């Protein structure tokens, strides 16, 4: 009977030692986990200076972001705040399309934005 008890003690000690050895790995994984990204507000994204669009609620659950890129009118549609698709106005009708690439603001060679008014000193 004495041999059975010593084996159980060894297994218990081995199990406890393994738990202590694995604890730092498990705790460090939880500490370095990436946080859940914040949901993007469609209104904020639409009315940002990069897009320059107008966000409008069509119904209680349906909204549109209207903006212009390279001379074409685009409409991003949202249902309950979730992006559902993009339409472009062509030939008198709204046609489904992919989101266009928004061009960056034009800058002069010195890195100054093109549409900044010049300052005058008195």
Residue range 88-100: mean pLDDT, rounded: 90
The pLDDT, as a whole number, for residue 111 is 57
Out of 88-92, 98-102, 113-117, least confident range: 113-117
Residue 64 banded pLDDT, cuts 50, 70, 90: very high
Domain definitions of the chain by residue range: 42-97
Question: Poorest-confidence range of 49-53, 64-68, 78-82, 117-121?
Answer: 117-121
CA distances (Å), origin 30, targets 5, 16, 19: 37, 21, 16
- At residue 107, the 3 state secondary structure works out as strand
Mean pLDDT on 17-36: 64
Tally Cβ neighbours within 10 Å of residue 94. 14
Average pLDDT of every residue of the chain? 76
pLDDT, position 66:
94
Contact of 97 with 87, CB cutoff 8 Å: yes
Tell whether the model's pLDDT for residue 55 goes beyond 90: yes
CA distance 86 to 98: 6
Is the pLDDT at 122 greater than 70, yes or no?
no
Instruction: Find where tokens 């100054």 sit.
Output: 112
Helix (H) or strand (E) holding 13, with range, is helix 2-31
For the CA atoms of 79, 83, 87, 88, the dihedral, rounded to the nearest 10 degrees, stands at: 130
pLDDT band at 81 (very low <50, low <70, confident <90, very high): confident
* Distant-in-sequence, close-in-space partners of 99: CB < 8 Å, separation ≥ 6: 74, 76, 86
**91 in Cβ contact with 97 (< 8 Å):** no
């Amino acid at each position: 009977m004495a041999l059975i008890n010593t084996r159980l003690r060894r297994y218990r000690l081995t199990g406890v030692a393994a738990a202590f050895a694995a604890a730092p790995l498990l705790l460090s994984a939880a500490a370095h986990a990436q946080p859940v990204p914040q949901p993007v507000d469609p209104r904020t994204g639409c009315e940002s200076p990069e897009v320059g669009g107008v966000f409008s609620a069509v119904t209680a659950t349906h909204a549109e972001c209207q903006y212009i890129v390279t001379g074409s009118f685009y409409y991003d549609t949202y249902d309950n705040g979730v992006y559902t698709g993009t339409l472009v106005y062509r030939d008198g009708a709204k046609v489904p399309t992919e989101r266009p690439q928004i061009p960056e603001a034009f800058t002069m060679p010195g890195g100054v934005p093109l549409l900044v008014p010049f300052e005058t000193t008195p």
